[in-house]
Chain A
């Protein structure tokens, strides 16, 4: 089994504050890794590092065997994308928002692919609608379509269903799962909801105060946590 990412002694500091301090982390190619933990644990920062949106203060990030320096080559950067908790959409139509991801890559816009993704996410009827008319769930589905239309090798999700109703949560999780199965997309999903990790991920890790406290196959993580912090977090105790 190959690794999409290998992190060695990666830290991220903002001023005096150390937000991420991960001694070692391997993320398997084609797997779904769930990262849970209380807010402020450094989960989102870790995702930004994995998306090469900022360089780490210290340490080494290898992506598919290539060591990533300050500014990775564009082609490599374009293999990875993030869906954030808040879908940051352009003031245009739904279809135009999905098309923008293709445009950025200089690819001729492929309306078939756009249509297909809108269809899969139940947005076909809204294709020409301006995004300001969408509900929160619809907007987040547009963000997911925009990420997937370019067929990324790595899909990073930062609380993708944070404020959504069960119908939208189910639909979005289903699409993530099927894209992972069909295309072998490597997925990292950050969530404060352990049940989402349990539903989606094949491996799950717990982050507290910037550190990866425990990481294991999801079944083992939930049924037989090795660390007291994990057990406490899963019980619903406050950990920080």
Chain B
């Protein structure tokens, strides 16, 4: 308990001193997470909406369980596959992305994409099934019907964004394997916490942990404000 208390005090002091290395780690964490999230959203929201609307799609009975499985992918397994793909002997080895932020973004996109896809699909399916008929009766085109349905499911879609963000900012297995935790290059908050804990630098590890939690909280605060403005609870 005493160790914890001392570590906590030291952590606050470290945060106060605003170490430049610390800022680099925070910056890279946000960069990797947000770029991966953006790609996952750009792909996952339109595809999830299409799947949610296409209730009679052939192969649906197979696709949906596949997506649900993807939503629970173990990050360390994703990291391993991405590692093998990006390694020198791998099919994408020529890209030279192993142990770079680009490789970490690939791995995190693979983790976030099924979450966005599956939760967007569920959100769109949750919209009143008679809404398309009503919209068509008001003169809407198919495109307008799809867009209105997606906007109507916005609270659920925001939840998809929150879930995807939370899963990748806190993820350690994939970024550790693919990024390699190289100081000044691929070190992010989660991998730094693992390293500092192993080294016995509990104060620094705790400071990093507090920053990670604060980042997650601040972002979710923003998402929640958005949900409330959209008429959510």
Are these two chains actual partners, yes or no?
Answer: yes
B77 interface hit (Cβ, 8 Å): no
- Further 11 A-B residue pairs, CB within 8 A, beyond A81-B138, A81-B139, A88-B128: A53-B136, A53-B137, A74-B141, A82-B137, A84-B130, A84-B133, A88-B133, A88-B134, A92-B231, A100-B148, A101-B138
Query: Which secondary structure dominates where chain B touches chain A?
Result: helix
For the complex formed, measure the closest distance between the CB of A100 and the CB atoms of chain B, giving whole angstroms: 7
Q: Flag if A104 contacts B144 (CB, 8 Å).
A: yes
B131 interfacial contact with A, CB 8 Å: yes
Category for how many chain A residues contact B? 20 to 34
B26 contacts partner chain A, Cβ-Cβ < 8 Å: no
A35 CB, min distance to chain B CBs, angstroms: 17
Q: Is residue B42 contacting chain A, with contact meaning CB distance below 8 A?
A: no
Interface residue B135 (Cβ < 8 Å from any Cβ of A): yes
Residues of B within 8 A of A (CB): 128, 130-131, 133-141, 144, 148, 151-152, 155, 230-231
Nearest 10 pairs between A and B by C-beta?
A78-B139, A88-B134, A82-B137, A104-B140, A101-B138, A91-B231, A88-B130, A51-B137, A104-B139, A130-B231
A sample of 5 inter-chain contacts (CB < 8 A) reads A51-B137, A88-B130, A90-B131, A101-B139, A150-B139
**A105 is an interface residue with CB less than 8 A from chain B:** yes
CA distance A166 to B71 in the complex (A): 51
A84 to chain B, nearest CB (A): 7
The chain A residues found within 8 Å of chain B, CB to CB, are 51, 53, 74, 77-78, 80-82, 84, 86, 88, 90-92, 100-101, 104-105, 130, 132, 146-147, 150
Which one of B128, B133, B138, B141 lies within 8 Å of A146 (CB-CB)? Answer: B138
Given A90-B148, A91-B231, A130-B231, answer yes or no on A104-B138 (Cβ-Cβ < 8 Å): yes
Interface centre among A81, A91, A130 (most CB of B within 10 A): A91
Residues of B within 8 A of A150 (CB): 138-139
Contacts of B134 in A (CB 8 A): 82, 84, 88
- Report the minimal beta-carbon distance from B44 to chain A, rounded to whole angstroms: 22
- CB-defined contacts of B231 to chain A, threshold 8 Å: 91-92, 130, 132
What CA separation (Å) do A147 and B130 show in the bound complex?
Answer: 16
Per the bound structure, the CA–CA distance linking A150 and B140 in Å amounts to 13
Q: How far is the CA of A74 from the CA of B136 in the complex (A)?
A: 10
**A105 touching B130 in the complex, CB below 8 Å, given contacts A91-B152, A91-B231, A130-B231:** no
A194 vs B140: C-alpha distance when bound (angstroms):
33
Residue of A nearest to B153 (CB): A91
Q: How many whole Å from B227's CB to the nearest CB in chain A?
A: 12
Asked whether A53 and B141 contact (CB < 8 A) given A90-B152, A91-B152, the answer is no
Cα–Cα, bound, A101→B135 (Å): 9
In the complex, what distance in Å separates the CA atom of A84 from the CA atom of B133? Answer: 10
> Least Cβ distance of A187 to chain B in Å?
15
Beta-carbon nearest neighbor of B145 in chain A: A104
Name the A residues within 8 Å of B139 (CB-CB): 74, 77-78, 81, 101, 104-105, 150
The answer to whether B141 touches A100 (Cβ under 8 A) is: no
How far is B198's CA from A145's CA once the two chains are assembled, in angstroms? 67
Q: How far is the CB of B131 from chain A (nearest CB, A)?
A: 6
Complex Cα gap A74–B128 (Å): 24
A130, B136: Cα distance in complex, Å:
23
State A78–B144 Cα separation when bound (angstroms): 14
Q: A104 to B147: give the CA distance in the assembly, Å.
A: 11
